[in-house]
Structure 1
Amino acid sequence: MSNVLVLGAGGQIARHVIGMLGGEQGMALTLFARNTARLARVPANTTLVQGDVLDPARLAEAVKGQDIVYANLTGEDLDDQAKAVIDAMQAEGVQRLVFVLSLGIYQEVPGKFGEWNEAIIGEDLKPFRRAADAIEASGLDYTILRPAWLMDEDEVDYETTGRNEPFKGTVVSRKSVADLIARTIRAPKLHSRANFGVNKPNTDADKPYFM
């Protein structure tokens, strides 16, 4: 049995992941959200926990006994949230972490799209970068995902770029990111200590098509 804690379970990517893993034999999900009443179509193999990751006692209780923690969090205090997750995992002896961040945190997006991205969200990315630095320094067995601008198309079509490679493309579907997360959770040794950019192939442009 693989015990998986989903932090930010109400998020759109997380809902795809839950749908992909829900009901799978040998998979037990704990869904952690600020408002569990908003979680719809909860699979049978799940436990619901309402709480905030910045509540140390509540988070520690949820982390205890897990094999994998998947975090789909956001906000101006994302670095504080990441530190709280790291502290709870270290205290409870849980090693495997999958954490979703954002493109652009390393100024790795080239060309006009990179300039546009920096102008639009560059300031907002600072806590994301601090979160990434804390995760990489934590000693945990992490996988960091840095998706392109997200879209809702019902498709799985993506490629990845490494930690120190120029980012490719401009967009990627939430379902594609969820597919990569679900694959990593099913095979925890996959993408160990990896930090990926994630994009849909052949979407290079000056900005996302919907902007």
Structure 2
Amino acid sequence: MKKLIFIGVNGDLANHVIEELQTQSNIRLTLFLRPAKRGFKTNVDNVRIIEGDSQDHRALTRSIARHDIVFLNLTGHSGEASRNITTAMKETHVKRIIVICPIAVYETPLTPIVIPYKKIADTIRNSGLEYTIIQPTWLTCTGRLHYKVTGEVEFEKGMAISQIQLFPLINKIMEAHEKYMLKNLQASIPNSQ
């Protein structure tokens, strides 16, 4: 059984991913939540909830220890948190991190809104950890649709991808660790510009 800790539990995407992770019998899920999210409820009893702040290095280190995978849902304000997370992972010998990050982080010229995300992605890429960064083009709430995955240098011309269809990709990444290690993946619906 894989032990996964989810950091950045916010927004609809996080809710979709958590719902799917809860159904996986081979995953032991821990949610790392800000104290402000105290009322967060899960449908499955075997999900562990830890309250903490990703700016608090000690709390992160204690929480990340003894997990196999860190799943990080980024926001543009996660710069210090990403450094704390990667440092805590190294200190606790947790090597695998899967990150959701906006698509345009490696396109040039960078738009001002993307710059903080690129800094975070660079922190993770340069950390020495076994990372996979998923860069969805744009997320929608529609049902499952066919999607395409490309590498960071193959800028995809497609448009939105459904939040609920990201989980099969996340699951593939967790199952085929070696195939997706040290990769930046873009996900979108092809031919949908």
TM-score by length of 1: 0.83
The answer on 1:143 being equivalent to 2:144 is no
Matches within 5 A, 1:65-84: 65-75=66-76, 77-84=77-84
Q: How has the CA–CA distance of structure 1 residues 149 and 38 changed in structure 2, closer, same or farther, with 3 Å as cutoff?
A: farther
Q: What do the CA deviations read for 1:22-47 (whole angstroms, capped 9, x no partner)? A: 14323210011214434233422210
Match of 1:49 in 2: 50
Mapped partners of 2:47, 2:173: distance in 1: 19
Mapped partners of 1:23, 1:90: distance in 2: 29
Q: How has the CA–CA distance of structure 1 residues 10 and 43 changed in structure 2, closer, same or farther, with 3 Å as cutoff?
A: farther
Once the 2 structures are TM-superposed, how far is the Cα of residue 187 of structure 1 from its aligned partner?
Answer: 4.0
Q: SS where residue 176 of structure 1 aligns?
A: helix
The answer on 1:10 being equivalent to 2:1 is no
Once the 2 structures are TM-superposed, how far is the Cα of residue 94 of structure 1 from its aligned partner?
Answer: 0.4
Once the 2 structures are TM-superposed, how far is the Cα of residue 186 of structure 1 from its aligned partner?
Answer: 3.9
Amino acid of the structure 2 residue aligned with 1:40: K
Match of 2:119 in 1: 130
1:194 to 153, 164, 183: 183
Percentage of pairs with the same residue: 29
Matches within 5 A, 1:1-211: 1-34=1-34, 35-75=36-76, 77-107=77-107, 122-204=111-193
Q: SS where residue 154 of structure 2 aligns?
A: coil
Q: Contact conserved, 1:14 with 1:178, CA < 8 A, in 2?
A: no
Aligned residues between the structures: 192
Q: SS where residue 123 of structure 1 aligns?
A: coil
How big is the alpha-carbon RMSD for the aligned residues of Structure 1 and Structure 2? 1.9
Q: Contact conserved, 1:146 with 1:198, CA < 8 A, in 2?
A: yes
Q: What do the CA deviations read for 1:156-180 (whole angstroms, capped 9, x no partner)? A: 4311111211222121111122331
Q: SS where residue 157 of structure 2 aligns?
A: coil
Q: SS where residue 104 of structure 2 aligns?
A: coil
